[in-house]
Amino acid sequence: MITVLETIYSTAKLQMKEAVTRPTFRFCLLIQPIIYSLITYKMFINSGHDNFVAYTVLGTGILTLWSCICFSSAGDIERERYMGTLQVIYNTPTNFKVIILGKILGNTMLGLLPFFISFAFVRLFLGGDMYIKDPMAFGISMIITIASFMGISMLFAAVFTLSRSSRILMNCIEYPVFILCGILFPIEILPKWTIPLSYILSPTWAVKLLRLSVEGLEGNDIFCKYFGILTTITIIYFILSNILFKIIDNKTRIKATLGVV
């Protein structure tokens, strides 16, 4: 029997095989982290932090992971629509949601590469030391961050399946999140009205959690609070995307958005 997990795995594998042959994706994975590293390094070096390398690597990693995720939801669906494969995979007995999850997993795994590239780049060419005070907390934060990014990605993928203007939507969401979620500077300096928006976007909490575990926990309270919030938001994302996929399963066949012809 081919189980759901096997399908997810084979989809993720195919996704990675396919993605690395695409020039834009390679740029995203290999060149972009270096550019972001340079920028964030310059920003954080004068921040007075002795652990600015960690901030640089973390910032770069999250920025590029986010870019990969944007690609994974919007770009892939758009591309598959034009390749004519969207209707083929949609029409198999495998649940479309499962296929999308596999694709997102593939992109996410590739999307983790920039963390290492950024780290290597900073160490080799820029210099400076980094530490992670609480590796255990960092590990946990990383896992929930990834899960959460995948949840948000599922949500976008659902919307993009229905819409033929995926690419425009994708470009609209890629950059604002860098600012809204406090990846580069604290959200507290943003105008008041954007704060609620920041709070419902999981990267905001992911960044807080990761920084906290890099700096070391004073007590468990605040870590647990952020962790709780992030987990809740992530679960809500998955529930919402589940509902959306159900609606979309019907809508897309009524509106005829699966193929180009």
Residues that bind another protein (CB under 8 A): 1-2, 6-7, 10-11, 14, 17-18, 21-22, 83-85, 87-94, 99, 250, 253-256, 258-259, 261
> Nearest distance from residue 96's CB to another protein, in Å?
10
Select 17 or 42, whichever has its Cβ closest to another protein: 17
> Nearest distance from residue 88's CB to another protein, in Å?
5
CA atoms within a 13 Å half-sphere pointing along the CA-CB vector of 131: 7
Select 225 or 255, whichever has its Cβ closest to another protein: 255
Buried-exposed string 67-106: b where 16+ CB fall within 10 A, e elsewhere: bbbbbbbbbbbbbbbeeeebeeebeeebebbebbbbbbbb
> Nearest distance from residue 107's CB to another protein, in Å?
15
> Nearest distance from residue 30's CB to another protein, in Å?
17
Task: Name the 3-class secondary structure at 190.
Answer: coil
What are the residues whose beta carbons fall under 8 Å from the beta carbon of 129, sequence distance 6 or more? 53
Select 8 or 173, whichever has its Cβ closest to another protein: 8
> Nearest distance from residue 260's CB to another protein, in Å?
8
> Nearest distance from residue 8's CB to another protein, in Å?
10
CB 202 within 8 A of CB 237: yes
Select 18 or 174, whichever has its Cβ closest to another protein: 18
Select 225 or 251, whichever has its Cβ closest to another protein: 251
Q: Report the C-alpha gap between 130 and 214 in whole angstroms.
A: 9
Select 14 or 30, whichever has its Cβ closest to another protein: 14
What are the residues whose beta carbons fall under 8 Å from the beta carbon of 31, sequence distance 6 or more? none
Q: Report the C-alpha gap between 16 and 109 in whole angstroms.
A: 8
